[in-house]
Amino acid sequence: MPHLRTHRIALLIALAQAVAAPVQASVDTRAPADSAHVQALQDALGDAAQQGEQGDTLGALITFERLLADPGLADIPDADRVNAYVVAGWVALQARQHAPARRYLELARHATPDEPRALYLLGVLDAEDGRHLEGARLITRSLQLSDQFLPDISMSMAGSLGQQLQGHDNDYRDFLQALFDQGWKPEAIEPTDFWKRLAVLQIDSGQDDRVAATLERIDSPMAILALRADKRFDRFIDRDSPRFDPLQSAQRELDALRVGNLLAPEEIRNLVEMSYALLALGRHEEVVAMTGKVAGAAADPSLPRSFEHSGDIAWLLNNRAIAQRRLGDAQAGLATLETAAAFHEEGAANVSQQLNLASWQASLLRPREALETLEKTGSNLSPYGEAVQQWVRFFAYRQLGDMAQAATAKRWLEDHKDIAEDYVVETLLEDNALDQAAAQLVARLHSTEHRSEALMSMQQLLTVPSLPGDAERDRRWRQVVARADVQAALDAVGRSEHHPLFNTGSSR
């Protein structure tokens, strides 16, 4: 689960702040021990912590193993001993030594069951060992107790946890509620898609009294549109109010981002969010104009592909590509996306951009290039990333006439329907199995978990002509949506409305 790798700087700061002071500040009221030895041991533990902070995790771990086996450890104040166990656990985790990491962190937890640092790091360790549910529960408990590791929760990490918690709605709700209660706002951007999901989970679990507070933090156009489309929210929102008008929400969002950019022009994340807002409003020329200098600089082969904001550069270029494609120049968009895919995100290859590029290549009837791009994504993907990969494989092999490989990819999607249900529908459309596609869409509308996404896919928003590989499938999609049985299922749980906005997709 790569997105659960700890963010080194955030953890270093949190642990260093927690460890540095107590070594000298704790008061010991027990019987006197060999004070010189105790002080020497405390000093050595502090030095080991610094060694780990400076990057020598393996050397620090060896030092910790020796120090924590010292009988004098029993004479150190309890708080300092717990701190030592936590830092030793973190060092072992960074050194990818999971057995000692778990041993030290469990010792810290045994001494202080609600120690938030130990709980968080054990949660990360469980997730990395494939114990996703247990890991999520420990991370949630840590967040309920403290906001210390809140900066460590990125959008991608929260998204990965959400995928792993599918089918465990109560656990996912508790995780999101802990983030909400702690004021989670990664990179100063309100994560409205997560709050929309939290509101759905609150309604479905009978927590109606919490919904209003959650909705207060939702004011992005697509999230507002999703609230309007879903009849579960009818008793919570005033559909006639400007507050819940998607177009006005889009304009409010853009205005706020413009102000933020004026106040902090160095924050490139603001530009990324601004490009999303402009795309939603159909102001594609402005996106191309505002990203021109970045695109020019990014094309320089001497520019490093990995640096602090390289992930933001990649997403800015991704949105430039979408704007170029919507303006009718899909080839320019493809070239921009090829540049975007070369930039790293969070210090690793940008799998999202590579998958986006492969999808575009397949849609432009370049299946061999799409498969070559997929080779670069590797095997260490999130569950959703693997679903996208298998969809592109199906799509590309179909174009090449390799029905055996296409069938293998389709079977994978069907076997992982819990995370790939929307792509299962796409395979059915590609096969012209419209009755099955309609049944699948109706099932998604009936599902409390997948209803919101199904409703969003049926909204009547602005579109541009399909790319060549998508044209027939898009036509079949509209045919399926228009069916009486699908419309009846839609009317039972939601509605489809016209709005002068673009969704993430371009041709539906």
Average pLDDT over every residue of 389-396: 98
Average per-residue pLDDT in the chain? Answer: 89
The answer to which of 166-170, 400-404, 451-455 has the lowest mean pLDDT is 166-170
Average pLDDT over every residue of 350-378: 95
- Cβ neighbours of residue 52 under 8 Å, at least 6 residues apart? 60, 61, 87, 90, 91, 94
Average pLDDT over every residue of 79-105: 89
Which is it for the CA torsion 84, 87, 88, 89, positive or negative? positive
16/377: higher pLDDT: 377
Cα distance between the two ends of the chain: 32
Identify the pLDDT of residue 311: 92
Of 417, 432, 429, 441, whose CA–CA distance to 489 is shortest? 441
- Beta partners for 325? none
H helix runs in 245-283, sequence order? 246-263, 268-280
What pLDDT, in 10s, does the model give residues 179-207? 999 999 998 889 999 999 999 999 999 99
Of 137, 123, 162, whose CA–CA distance to 419 is shortest? 162
- Cβ neighbours of residue 428 under 8 Å, at least 6 residues apart? 434, 436, 437, 440
- Whole-number percent of the chain with pLDDT over 90: 69
Residue by residue, DSSP assigns 169-203 as HHHHHHHHHHHHHTT--GGG---HHHHHHHHHHHH
Residue 150 has pLDDT above 60, yes or no: yes
Residue 137 has pLDDT above 60, yes or no: yes
Burial (Cβ within 10 Å: 0-12, 13-18, ≥19) of residue 469: buried
Residue 298 has pLDDT above 80, yes or no: yes
- Beta partners for 222? none
> For 466, which DSSP code?
P
pLDDT band at 221 (very low <50, low <70, confident <90, very high): very high
Highest mean pLDDT among 10-14, 126-130, 134-138, 166-170: 134-138
What pTM did the predictor assign?
0.85
Structural domains in the chain, sorted by start: 1-152 (1.25.40.10), 369-429 (no CATH)
pLDDT band at 18 (very low <50, low <70, confident <90, very high): very low
Identify the pLDDT of residue 482: 98
Average pLDDT over every residue of 462-482: 97
The answer to which of 43-47, 95-99, 244-248, 447-451 has the lowest mean pLDDT is 43-47
- The answer to whether 456 touches 226, Cβ cutoff 8 Å, is yes
The two tokens of residue 240 are 């006639």
For residues 178, 183, 187 and 190, what is the CA-based torsion angle, rounded to 10 degrees?
100
Identify the pLDDT of residue 34: 64
- The answer to whether 221 touches 247, Cβ cutoff 8 Å, is yes
Residue 107 has pLDDT above 80, yes or no: yes
Q: What is the CA radius of gyration of the chain?
A: 25
Residue 270 has pLDDT above 60, yes or no: yes
